[in-house]
Amino acid sequence: MFQYQTLNTLQCERFSHFAEYLQQENRAFNLTRIVDTSQIYLRHFADSLEALPWLDAVMARSEKPRLIDVGSGAGLPGLAIAIARPQWEVISLDATGKKIGFQQRLIRRLGLANVTALQGRAEELAHQPAFRERFDAVLARAVAHLQVVCELCVGFLSIDGRLVTAKGSEVGPEIEQARSTFATLQLDLETVTPYSLSDLAQKMETPLEGEDASFNLLVLTKKASISSRYPRPFGAIKKSLSGPYSTGAR
């Protein structure tokens, strides 16, 4: 069974069922390249939960905490956060129907009442009044280049909300390329926190299997409202990048 220092038995059981169902459905829908149970626990679940200390800090200020996970894929980190924090409202957003279908089935199986899996495109949904500046936090894991992530996500954020995104070990050049994007979108880079697979394994209270690897968790704060033109259509965002385009965060 999945184990994690700050979770109770019911939460850990839900994560274990999550892994089993992900493995089962992955045979038909190709949801993840990580199929080994221990690696799902480490690289999907523990990695998703690494954002909790920063999320806890910002969500504590809200009477009705809301967050949205943009590009959630197989429900990570959105559904993982929903399991760990049942008092928060979570929207798990992805553009691919088969992934949202999987998430919706999983939500029913686990009895998660605080999360909604929604199919849609972030650059379109962020302009709708029901979603514009309505969230205390936005998550983005393995979505795109940092400049793209910022523009896709910032429209969802309320003022003083936080964008939390995971990146690989060599994030410095990507941050420098995104400096002008931060300014345009009223974002401050609050912190860049390195962590490793061995750090995650320690929180699971289990030995690390295989080689270690390093990552960075970026937290950005939204200072003010932005122009209604943002986010632009995805093609326009991609075309305007100041550096090499990457489709993945790792």
Give the model confidence (pLDDT) of 114-165 as tens digits: 999 999 999 999 999 999 999 999 999 977 899 999 999 999 999 999 999 9
Query: What's the number of domains the chain is made of?
Result: 1
pLDDT for residue 244 is more than 70: no
Q: 205 lies in a domain?
A: yes
- What are the φ and ψ backbone dihedral angles of 89, each rounded to 5 degrees? -90, 125
Q: 3 lies in a domain?
A: no
Range of the domain at 29: 9-239
Give the model confidence (pLDDT) of 223-234 as tens digits: 999 999 999 999
Taking alpha carbons only, the member of 200, 202, 216 closest to residue 42 is 200
Q: 245 lies in a domain?
A: no
Q: 43 lies in a domain?
A: yes
User: Hey, what long-range contacts does 123-132 have (CB within 8 A, 24 or more apart)?
Assistant: 123/151, 123/152, 123/231, 123/232, 123/233, 123/234, 123/237, 125/93, 125/156, 126/152, 126/153, 126/154, 126/155, 126/156, 126/231, 127/155, 127/228, 127/231, 131/68, 131/155, 131/156, 132/156
* Least reliable range by pLDDT among 87-91, 127-131, 236-240: 236-240
Q: 225 lies in a domain?
A: yes
CATH number for 235: 3.40.50.150
Residue 241's pLDDT band (cuts 50, 70, 90): confident
Q: 15 lies in a domain?
A: yes
Q: 29 lies in a domain?
A: yes
Give the model confidence (pLDDT) of 59-72 as tens digits: 999 999 999 999 99
Residue 242's pLDDT band (cuts 50, 70, 90): low
Q: 65 lies in a domain?
A: yes
- For tokens 């979570």, name the residue: 90
Cα distances (Å, whole numbers) of residue 197 to 16, 109, 209, 212? 19, 29, 9, 6
pTM higher than 0.85 for the full model? Answer: yes
Cβ–Cβ under 8 Å, residues 67 and 55: yes
The per-residue pLDDT of the chain, averaged, comes to 94
